[in-house]
A and B are shown apart, each in its own frame.
Chain A
Amino acid sequence: MGLEDLLGEGFLATRVKDLLAWGRKNSLWPMPFGTACCAIEMMSTLSSRYDMSRFGAEVVRFSPRQADLLIVGGRVTLKMMPVLQRIWLQMPEPKWSISMGACASCGGVFDTYTMIQGVDQFIPVDVYIPGCPPRPENLIDAVRLIQDQISSHEVQAHIDEITGIPSLPRLQHMQALRAERARLADAPLIEVVQEPAK
């Protein structure tokens, strides 16, 4: 591309969605849903020895409204599942989720009446972590996998799924909206400021 040569230093040619994904993947805000020993490993991952801030995911939010990465670590019981579902729904889009450890992924050794046999039955899960509990390295690996998903624009697929409009028609739709806005901006203001006739 000759654009960078043309504009000189301080400019970078990219695509908006790449830039957006780059920003998102390097500042994930996790929502910790730790219900058992996996939460201890999660705390270890976040603190100084393993230091998840090296991967931009250290701002743990205890409000789902401010988070975009749900980490389900630990046993989820019959009584907890509605809570987990509500938390997932309260998180704003775009959002991702990690099912951490054996219990969250498949119920683990707790094959009883009160244990959910895998949270992926009832909420979406992007990355599973094996282990009982998994080591902090496994959690870091899962966060890296989430980052890969973000930079490979799986988030776009998610948004397409949500809106029901695939990427290219969506772009055309946005362009049409933008053109309409430009046309209105150029149009004489008389229509807008004129008071309705009494």
Chain B
Amino acid sequence: MTRLPTADHEAQARQRREASKQAAERRLERERGLARQAAEWLGDDLLEVIEFRGQLTVVCKPPRLHELLAWFKDELAFDMLVDATAVDYLKLEGDYPERFAVVYHLANTVREARLRVRAYVSEEDPTAPTAGDIWAAAGWAEREIYDMYGLEFEGHPNLIRILLPHEYSGHPLRKDYPLRGRGERDNFPVIRRGDAEAKA
């Protein structure tokens, strides 16, 4: 026997939706508070706090990045690094101070809050401090950034390629990198019928 939805079920579903909406609003309010705290702590080193579709990003000046991340971990108990990634603004419309940015996605799993921290990195000196000493999870994510964007992380213990072959040259997620590559995919020995194993 199948149970058809009754008025009672619909009311319960409406209540659940309402409750989760309120929880999201409470969370956003909490995140705004945390971002405000971070802005006060940074003072002049804050560039801006961006709120977009209920998500907050704290943009700081590069020299304070490592300090800020450590502060988030130690003082505000952001115990999880969800992801670390980078952006290449080369062909993006708008005014950006530098070509690249590194972005750290943080989460506080106890108080349920998520924040993003961004710092711009220049093309001439594409280096940023590693966050591996704060969250161990940063290690592989930073290797991926290095692999794809060519940004280097000071203090990273093992900054080598993670996805592409080690002998690969170039960083394919840079926006000036051609989609079809620079001939890497055509650069293999041709094996004909009858070639022996020693040739490989």
A112: which B residues are within 8 A, CB to CB? 179-181
- Judging by beta carbons under 8 Å apart, are B164 and A122 in contact? no
- Judging by beta carbons under 8 Å apart, are B179 and A162 in contact? no
- Judging by beta carbons under 8 Å apart, are B197 and A121 in contact? no
B193: which A residues are within 8 A, CB to CB? 124, 158, 161-162
Q: Say yes or no for A148: interface residue by CB 8 A criterion.
A: no
- Judging by beta carbons under 8 Å apart, are A85 and B189 in contact? yes
Q: Say yes or no for B195: interface residue by CB 8 A criterion.
A: yes
A88: which B residues are within 8 A, CB to CB? 191
- A93 CB, nearest partner CB in chain B, Å: 8
Chain A residues numbered 91-148 whose CB sits less than 8 Å from any CB in chain B = 93, 111-117, 121-124
- Judging by beta carbons under 8 Å apart, are A113 and B188 in contact? no
- Judging by beta carbons under 8 Å apart, are B179 and A113 in contact? yes
Task: Mark contacts of A70-89 with chain B using CB atoms, 8 A cut-off: 1 yes-contact digit, 0 otherwise.
Answer: 00000000110110011011
- Judging by beta carbons under 8 Å apart, are B194 and A158 in contact? yes
Contact partner of A113 (CB less than 8 A), chosen from B184, B191, B197, is B184
C-alpha spacing A81/B192, complex, angstroms? 15
A47: which B residues are within 8 A, CB to CB? none
Task: Mark contacts of A18-50 with chain B using CB atoms, 8 A cut-off: 1 yes-contact digit, 0 otherwise.
Answer: 000000000000000000000000000000000
A158: which B residues are within 8 A, CB to CB? 193-194
- Judging by beta carbons under 8 Å apart, are A113 and B199 in contact? no
With known contacts A85-B200, A89-B197, A161-B193, A79–B185 Cβ distance under 8 A: no
C-alpha spacing A117/B188, complex, angstroms? 12
Total contacting residues, chain B, CB less than 8 A? 25
Q: Say yes or no for B110: interface residue by CB 8 A criterion.
A: no
- Judging by beta carbons under 8 Å apart, are A113 and B192 in contact? no
Contact partner of B194 (CB less than 8 A), chosen from A116, A123, A161, is A161
Task: Mark contacts of B124-151 with chain A using CB atoms, 8 A cut-off: 1 yes-contact digit, 0 otherwise.
Answer: 0000000000000000000000000000
Q: Say yes or no for B196: interface residue by CB 8 A criterion.
A: yes
Q: Say yes or no for B186: interface residue by CB 8 A criterion.
A: yes
B188: which A residues are within 8 A, CB to CB? 81-82, 85, 116, 121-122
A63: which B residues are within 8 A, CB to CB? none
C-alpha spacing A114/B165, complex, angstroms? 10
Q: Say yes or no for B178: interface residue by CB 8 A criterion.
A: yes
C-alpha spacing A115/B193, complex, angstroms? 23
Contact partner of A117 (CB less than 8 A), chosen from B185, B196, B199, is B185
- A80 CB, nearest partner CB in chain B, Å: 10
A123: which B residues are within 8 A, CB to CB? 191
- Judging by beta carbons under 8 Å apart, are A124 and B180 in contact? no
Q: Say yes or no for A90: interface residue by CB 8 A criterion.
A: yes
A115: which B residues are within 8 A, CB to CB? 185
Q: Say yes or no for B11: interface residue by CB 8 A criterion.
A: no
With known contacts A79-B165, A113-B172, A121-B186, A85–B191 Cβ distance under 8 A: yes
Q: Say yes or no for B4: interface residue by CB 8 A criterion.
A: no
B199: which A residues are within 8 A, CB to CB? 89
B164: which A residues are within 8 A, CB to CB? 78-79, 114
- Judging by beta carbons under 8 Å apart, are A86 and B180 in contact? no
Q: Say yes or no for B168: interface residue by CB 8 A criterion.
A: yes
Q: Say yes or no for B190: interface residue by CB 8 A criterion.
A: yes
- Judging by beta carbons under 8 Å apart, are B197 and A90 in contact? yes
B contacts, CB < 8 Å to A: 164-165, 168, 172, 177-182, 184-186, 188-197, 199-200
What are 11 pairs between A and B in contact, CB < 8 Å?
Answer: A78-B165, A78-B184, A79-B164, A89-B191, A113-B180, A113-B182, A114-B185, A122-B190, A123-B191, A161-B193, A162-B194
